[in-house]
Structure 1
Amino acid sequence: MKYQIIYADPPWTYRDSANSGKRGAKHKYPVMKLEDLKRLPVWELADEQCLLAMWHVPTMPMEAKELCEAWGFRLMTMKGFTWHKYHAKSGKDCMGMGHLTRGNSEDMLFGVKGKLLERLDARIIQSVSAPRGEHSEKPAVFRELLTQMVGDLPRIELFARKGVPGWDAWGNECDSDIELIPATFVKRTKEKAA
């Protein structure tokens, strides 16, 4: 099966471990180093024409670009979507961790393989306000916006927590028929002529 939409929320290893209060990602779920993420053969899931919609860590833009390219995509924009977070009960802005400013948003980059998919709905805007859920949980509205934007195409969510109707899923917290086995690379050395 090949997909035309790949939606991913990689379990990034953050530079800031946030050990006080065990607030960092590594205290909530297993994280992966960039080199290990790059070895996942996402390129084998991508159709000839495919959109990668990938959440990335604000302090690691170069690593996000590198992962996008390692998976076989060219970067289109670092700000495909920006999620402005607020508390569901109070409606007040969230105030997370951050560097200099406190974080209350997350960004999704868009990468493209092949020809850019046709945009079906030009009314979709970049910034979306939605309530924060469990740690690292992303609002369902982003899956809906992706299909509204480019259509009801074959699609998969990587690093998913649970299956969602209409989407194939792969992740350590959900049942899946899909297996992503890390590719291995071996550096060959040239033999010296005698």
Structure 2
Amino acid sequence: MMYNNDLKNLDLHSILSENGLVAVWCTNSIQHLNMLKNEIFPKWNVKFASKWYWLKVTQSGEVICSFSPPPGKQPFEQIIFGCRNSRKFRNPPNAKIVVSVPSALHSHKPPLSELLKLYLPNDPKCLEVFARYLLPNWTSYGNEVLKFQHESLYDMNISE
């Protein structure tokens, strides 16, 4: 959990390349979305590019809960993209819908790395802030980086 003002003060503008793309998972809070577009993105020196929706469905393809008037719980989350002005690559298209069955683990998001390949250069330098699992060829940063890594991925019988 991080407050909007703390998020705004992250020093992302100094590490984001001129062709950088930022993706932020958002709840459906209008206050948070407005803060992201109007205060956080400008502080990071990025502009709103597009918004995707992650539609959460059951294994039988039904939405996990009913759509309801705000601020009620929704069966979707939003992914907000921001970019630098000089971006040489296509931005993700607006209003794309990513559909998946959510993990049983709280706040475990589906990886977007394969979906984002179309909008990134060859061999991109990718960083996930607040990471909860490792992704191939990405730098993962956060205090829960190994949270969703399964112990079967580690060799506990290391011999010299």
TM-score band, normalised by shorter chain: 0.7 to 0.9
Q: CA deviation at 1:130?
A: 0.8
Q: Does 1:50 align with 2:23?
A: no
Q: Does 1:63 align with 2:35?
A: yes
Tell me which residue corresponds to 2:89. 118
| Larger gyration radius, structure 1 or structure 2 | 1
Contact 1:117 1:150 (8 Å CA) reproduced? no
CA distance in 2, matches of 1:32, 1:100: 20
C-alpha change, 1:162 and 1:100, in structure 2 (3 Å) is closer
- CA offset digits 1:50-88 (Å, max 9, x no partner): 1111112222221121222222211123x1x21110123
C-alpha change, 1:128 and 1:159, in structure 2 (3 Å) is same
Contact 1:56 1:64 (8 Å CA) reproduced? no
CA distance in 2, matches of 1:166, 1:96: 37
- CA offset digits 1:104-146 (Å, max 9, x no partner): 0111111111323423998x97111111112221112x22111
- Give % identity: 27
The aligned amino acid for 2:36 is: A
Q: Does 1:159 align with 2:139?
A: no
Q: Does 1:75 align with 2:48?
A: yes
Number of matched residues? 140
CA distance in 2, matches of 1:71, 1:129: 29
- CA offset digits 1:85-107 (Å, max 9, x no partner): 0123x432112896365400111
Say what the alpha-carbon RMSD is for the aligned residues: 2.6
C-alpha change, 1:136 and 1:167, in structure 2 (3 Å) is same
106, 110, 115: which is aligned to 1:135?
A: 106
The aligned amino acid for 1:69 is: P
CA distance in 1, matches of 2:7, 2:86: 25
C-alpha change, 1:115 and 1:157, in structure 2 (3 Å) is same
Q: Which has the higher contact order (CA 8 A, sep 6+)?
A: 1
Residue ranges of structure 2 left out of the alignment (5+ in a row): 147-160
Residue ranges of structure 1 left out of the alignment (5+ in a row): 1-30, 176-194
- CA offset digits 1:137-183 (Å, max 9, x no partner): 1112x2211123324411111110122111111111126xxxxxxxx
C-alpha change, 1:131 and 1:151, in structure 2 (3 Å) is farther
